[in-house]
Amino acid sequence: MLEITSSCIDVENLTAPEFREFLAYWEALRSGRIAPPWAEIELIEMPAKVLPYLTVVQVHQAPLDFVYAFYGTGHMSLKARDLTGHSITEAKPRENGPVVFDQYRRVLEARKPMAFRRTFSEPGDDRDLTQLTLRLPLSGDGENIHWIMSLSDLRSKPGMRDFYETHGRDRPFRLGAARRARAV
């Protein structure tokens, strides 16, 4: 049985350069406000290495929901689907939805950057299945949080890539003919 746990970690404990650059970009745009708006985010100004693992959700109120407004190509490739325009509750594996929903809710309530460590475990699987994610609020009016932009650390985690290729898709990952030939 798949078990997913989540813990909040101090943003300062994220030492990977991608996280530091992502947070610095957000801080520069924030410029003293609670959060910058999504309209000011220029993806072309971000380090290219972060874009595939970037997502932006739009906050929907009454009932509370988070809908992907941007879903990076790295996520699409791993999970074999584009969730742009879909609720985070539609993400796979289904056990992940409530955990991620709670993370977004916490960022919405805190109105500040937050970092999370998610650990995935299954009986008999001893791989390092830990994912770090930095979530940054965005505001359209300077008072309320309307979007949340996130960066996940998936590039340096082969175990997580394998996990999502197995559990994050409607169908298991299969090597295409060209990739099978190169793998031999």
Give pLDDT, residue 156: 61
Nearest alpha-carbon partner for 105 in 162, 139, 145, 143? 145
Nearest alpha-carbon partner for 132 in 148, 165, 110, 155? 155
Distance between CA atoms of residues 78 and 101, nearest Å: 20
Is residue 168 over pLDDT 70? no
User: Helices H, strands E: what count in the chain?
Assistant: 5, 6
Backbone angles phi and psi of 118, in degrees to 5:
-110, 130
Percent of the chain with pLDDT over 90: 49
Give pLDDT, residue 77: 78
| Average of per-residue pLDDT values in the chain | 84
What domains are there in the chain, each with its CATH number?
3-183 (3.30.450.20)
Before 63, cis peptide (omega within 30)? Answer: yes
Give pLDDT, residue 129: 79
In eight-state DSSP terms, residue 105 is H
Give pLDDT, residue 101: 95
Distance between CA atoms of residues 2 and 51, nearest Å: 29
Kindly report, residue by residue over 18-48, the tens digit of the pLDDT. Answer: 999 999 999 999 988 999 999 999 988 888 8
Question: Residue 77: which H helix or E strand, with range?
Answer: helix 73-79
